[in-house]
Structure 1
Amino acid sequence: MTSVIEQLKRQLFSRPQDPELYYELGRQYLALKEAKPAEQAFQQALKWAPEHPQILMQLGNVASLRGQENIAADYFKRSLAQDEQQADVHFNLANSLQKLGEHALAVKHYQRAIQFTPDDAECHNNLGNAYRQLGHLDLAVNAYARALALDPQLLHAKVHWIHQKQHMADWQGLDAAITAVRSALNKGANAKIPPFAFLAMPGTTDTEQQACASAWAAQHYGHIQALPAPTAKPAYRPIKLAYVSSDFRQHPLAYLVTEVIAAHDRQRFEIFLYSNSQDDHSAQRQAFYTAANHWLDIVAMSDADVAQHMRDADIDILIDLTGYTQHSRSGIAAYRPARQHINWLGYPGSMGYLRGQPLFDAIIVDETLNTLTLAERPIVLPCYQPNNAQRPMADAGTRIDHDLPSQGFVFCCLNQSFKITPSVFASWMRILQQVPGSVLWLLQCNAWATRHLQQQAQAAGIDISRLIFAPRKPIDQHIARQQHADIMLDTAPYNAHTTASDALWQGIPLLTVAGDTFPARVSASLLRRIGMQDCICADWAALETKAVALANDPTTLAALKSRLKTQSSLLFDPQDFCQQLEQALTQLLR
């Protein structure tokens, strides 16, 4: 490709006003993901062919490569103003609108693109993504299915189809689809498999999850050239610690890590928060803002620009709190802007390798999680998950206020519906069968999940009135109402995370089975930290036995709750957690 670029430059020497040559030169640079020379070439092409729709589109593509989606969208709109019937421009504009959070408008442009190119599988897939963001899960699943009908090898569409079916608790066809995805990954196929969705697929191993993460890193960050290695940290100044997150807002993260960040010793640490979320004007965002020495809004900044800002600020340690979850900014770490880069909390697993080296230098774990296959060097703390000292609380009301029976045993699991698998739900139904008068309290995630879970209960011989669905509530009301539960039952292979801490905070015993992957061992991690190993069952049959026994033995259950109330405080001590973290970070830099 370099030879083609040199040839085009020679041709431009004799034909310096030829827009086609500049356009082709820009395309070559864009294929190499070299944004600056690509933009210069397209701007020259535009100079000699003003408002040419394809040149405007390519300038939009350059802006999108830089992460400047507002600028990209403006270029795409200018292009469509010249020629409205460009399927590729409608598609690109819709992609930018998706990243800008304008999902309804994105749907319209995906639909326009499909009118011109109805057999574009990728467009149907992305239309499904937009529907998903709008909560139209049925339309999303249909769009993914159409994409797969057009291109059965479009693995990321299959993953999206699986994950949204999991959200809907519609399990038909999932086993075969998951087997196909795992097979493609194990064959080394160059398939884009979103790592977060892969974590929740039953049967996937920690080795496969790491391979999935590595493939994702190579596909998305393989073009990135790292900054020159930084010099050694000056000994005279505090450690400059940068947290990066898309969740410095009203989000479960706020109830885990805000007070840890605020507790840092400002004589020894200087705290930078790089925020990739819109200002939701919440008290949680304000608390994060107050906890920082330096706050930077990076929503409109490219990964390269953020990395350069970190290098200019001489950041010592970058901690990514988002990982491969929604609105990931993990590409920043690929530039190697800091002296050490840590994966923690947002993504429950290894972030994998990039060009044979870990994308992140280290990961914060504990003894329960340090048995896994990890690309990163483990930083082992007493517990990997922090918590604020307090949870927001409202008036809990009565059981009747929450549609629960005034008498009878209440099992609960307020996890998201995608975590409920057929085998886990079958286990719950067997527990209900053995505890007459008991109910199962679930989170009301979406109408499809409610309907499908009711149908599964009926098939298991359980009256649907024994499934109680809790509507979404403000966080203070959500946490308070949990005190009306008697026992929380965990999910697998993706455990309760923040939801587990919420239950333990309220004194609700949590029963789990320690699995073989990071997300399947989180609850065991929390329980071991507070000395409640007896709530970690050997397998699901043992969990069922224990749940039934506790439900039928009020004295033993009361003793368990009393012990939990005494010991759970270990999880909710951000000052102590921060001291442990600071010691580990200081050692890491040495």
Structure 2
Amino acid sequence: MPTESPESVSASRQIRHYVRARAWCEWEDFDLWPDRVRADLADEDGAVWPPFLLLAMPGIDAATQRACATRWLKARLESFHAEGGSRELAADVPGVSRPPGPLRIGYLSGDFHQHATALLMVEMLEAHSADHVELYAYSHGANDGKGMRERLVLAFHRFRDIGGLSDMEAAELIRADGVDILVDLKGYTEGSRTMLLAHRSAPVQVSFLGYPGTSGQGFVDYLISDRFVTPAASADDYSEALACMPHSYQPHGRVIDPTIAPPGRAALGLPEEGFVFACFNQAWKFTPQVFDVWCSLLLDVPGSVLWLLDAPHARGNLRNEAMARGVLPDRLIFAPGLPQAGHLARLPVIDLMLDTWPYNAHTTASDALWAGVPLVTCAGATFASRVAGGLLQAAGLPEVVTTTPEAYAALARALALDAPRLHALRHRFEQSRHAAALFNVLAYTRALEAMYERMWARHQAGLPPTAIDMADDPDHGGDPVGR
């Protein structure tokens, strides 16, 4: 029976240590990790890092993220070829003819249940026009029994469970279904089936929504994004052609249940008086620099508290870190996880949402904005660090997008200490947000269909993938309310 070499065991242990340190907010050697990653990438015998881990690591730029993704997949292509995966990659697939009719779009995911990805896209799936697209789901995840799977099944023309199939068998099924464009919703997140795409399951293959970065290989043709998240100048950081939506790349699917009464502060364990800062990002997105800023805000704003999503393993460490920065630990208040409707109902009690960097709020930013809560973000230069900024632009709140930690801290402090200014911002947002591009599901869906049509037309013409910018499309790029 084969065994791991001492070197691979050591590398695996190092990566496991990093994962635990981030999840538990154990920051003793935090600043050493970027150099360790760069050293491993420069050493052909160095640890092969999962690409997802680099997205939240400060000091790692998008070019390094691409190099990591390329190396990660290269290390797995040997087993892919051993399985028989030898089909041509994107640039070598010839144009094909097909009968007229709706494009067949396949969505590949393990998250067709009560998951952030499904919550974001369910209304978009339901809004697709049967005249333009025929939807196929390829699910490799379990049904959690919470009702979302049943709703999703109704949105698809066919819903296939491929959990028991090998990548090759699943690829053959997708080809047999005649799928024109296969859209991977997982990328390098946990439980993904990215290698399935290496079998060239469909003529055009796309990365969308689930992974904010590049695949690093040529068998994914397009990455769906937007102009803010991936400016044209960043194209070399991605192996895919950038396909930019006209406003935000992120669809929106949120309904606040009117039968759930918004709870008061006391019921949520919050003080009746005082300013409530909040961040509902997962604790592994926190960094010492971000926490420095948050604690400085608590010190500068009397009576304020920081409301965080509970992280049992990290709770004690975060309170210790707060004390080390001169903040009493009881000013950190931890919120239990709730079903989506209950979570959305509690958000309006927040005065100001605070973002993390270099991995921003993604779904949590969308949640806050849908609930009418402004978010202050610090936009960086990588996909994951620009998502919240793109959402704020599409929501009509560009003034709360900053680009340095200093500007982020100054803006959050100013809003917290100037009640009329914050009230005016929230009032204006409340009056305008329902007409914002971010929340126009129908206009978003029509633009996405048009994007798919452009991808397919290029493939039919025998042309390689190229950048697509739907903001330049006069039918889909200009009017945020789709008129």
Q: TM-score range by the shorter chain?
A: 0.7 to 0.9
Please state if 1:155 is matched with 2:5. Answer: no
Provide the secondary structure at the position in 2 that maps to 1:504. helix
Q: For each residue in 1:327-346, what CA deviation from the matched residue of structure 2 results, as whole angstroms up to 9, or x when unmatched?
A: 11111110112111000110
Show structure 1 runs of 5+ residues with no match. 1-87, 90-119, 123-149
Please state if 1:179 is matched with 2:35. Answer: yes
TM superposition shift of 1:395: 2.7
Partner of 1:476: 341
Give matches, 1:21-420, under 5 Å: 88=1, 151=7, 154-189=10-45, 191-222=47-78, 223-224=80-81, 225-227=85-87, 229=93, 232-353=96-217, 358-371=218-231, 372=234, 373-381=237-245, 382-388=247-253, 390-392=255-257, 394-420=260-286
Please give the alpha-carbon distance, in whole angstroms, between the structure 2 residues aligned to 1:323 and 1:503: 25
Which residue identity does 1:415 align to in structure 2? N
Cα 1:572–1:389 change in 2 (3 A) is: farther
Q: Which residue of the other structure, out of 570, 574, 582, is the alignment partner of 2:441? A: 574
TM (norm. structure 1) is 0.72
Alpha-carbon RMSD across the aligned residues, in angstroms, is 1.8
Q: Which residue of the other structure, out of 286, 299, 310, is the alignment partner of 1:444? A: 310
Please state if 1:497 is matched with 2:357. Answer: no
Give me the identity figure in percent: 35
Please give the alpha-carbon distance, in whole angstroms, between the structure 1 residues aligned to 2:322 and 2:282: 18
Which residue identity does 1:212 align to in structure 2? C
TM superposition shift of 1:543: 1.4
- Contact (CA 8 Å) 2:229, 2:386: kept in 1 or not? yes
Q: More deviation in 173-182 or 300-309? A: 173-182
Partner of 2:470: none
TM superposition shift of 1:565: 2.0
Show structure 2 runs of 5+ residues with no match. 458-483
Which residue identity does 1:571 align to in structure 2? L
Q: For each residue in 1:359-386, what CA deviation from the matched residue of structure 2 results, as whole angstroms up to 9, or x when unmatched?
A: 3100001111223311100111121111
Please give the alpha-carbon distance, in whole angstroms, between the structure 2 residues aligned to 1:426 and 1:170: 15
- Contact (CA 8 Å) 1:504, 1:564: kept in 2 or not? no
Please give the alpha-carbon distance, in whole angstroms, between the structure 2 residues aligned to 1:520 and 1:458: 28
Q: For each residue in 1:434-463, what CA deviation from the matched residue of structure 2 results, as whole angstroms up to 9, or x when unmatched?
A: 1000000011112x3110110011111111
Provide the secondary structure at the position in 1 that maps to 2:193. coil
Which residue identity does 1:368 align to in structure 2? F
Which residue identity does 2:42 align to in structure 1? N
Please give the alpha-carbon distance, in whole angstroms, between the structure 2 residues aligned to 1:153 and 1:121: 6
TM superposition shift of 1:152: 7.9
Please state if 1:465 is matched with 2:326. Answer: no
Provide the secondary structure at the position in 2 that maps to 1:154. helix
Please give the alpha-carbon distance, in whole angstroms, between the structure 1 residues aligned to 2:110 and 2:431: 35
Which residue identity does 1:155 align to in structure 2? A
Partner of 2:298: 432
- Contact (CA 8 Å) 1:342, 1:360: kept in 2 or not? yes
Please give the alpha-carbon distance, in whole angstroms, between the structure 2 residues aligned to 1:315 and 1:581: 17
- Contact (CA 8 Å) 1:227, 1:337: kept in 2 or not? no
Partner of 1:523: 388
- Contact (CA 8 Å) 2:141, 2:163: kept in 1 or not? yes
- Contact (CA 8 Å) 1:158, 1:177: kept in 2 or not? no
Provide the secondary structure at the position in 2 that maps to 1:576. helix
Which residue identity does 2:282 align to in structure 1? Q
Please give the alpha-carbon distance, in whole angstroms, between the structure 2 residues aligned to 1:389 and 1:279: 21
TM superposition shift of 1:188: 4.5
Cα 1:498–1:259 change in 2 (3 A) is: same
Q: Which has the higher contact order (CA 8 A, sep 6+)?
A: 2
Please give the alpha-carbon distance, in whole angstroms, between the structure 1 residues aligned to 2:46 and 2:167: 24
TM superposition shift of 1:286: 1.0
Provide the secondary structure at the position in 1 that maps to 2:274. coil
Aligned residue pairs total: 441
Provide the secondary structure at the position in 1 that maps to 2:278. strand
Q: Bigger radius of gyration, 1 or 2?
A: 1
Please give the alpha-carbon distance, in whole angstroms, between the structure 2 residues aligned to 1:350 and 1:582: 22
Q: More deviation in 329-338 or 408-417? A: 329-338
Cα 1:525–1:314 change in 2 (3 A) is: same
TM (norm. structure 2) is 0.88
Please give the alpha-carbon distance, in whole angstroms, between the structure 2 residues aligned to 1:188 and 1:521: 31
Which residue identity does 1:366 align to in structure 2? D
Please give the alpha-carbon distance, in whole angstroms, between the structure 2 residues aligned to 1:582 and 1:291: 15
Which residue identity does 1:407 align to in structure 2? E
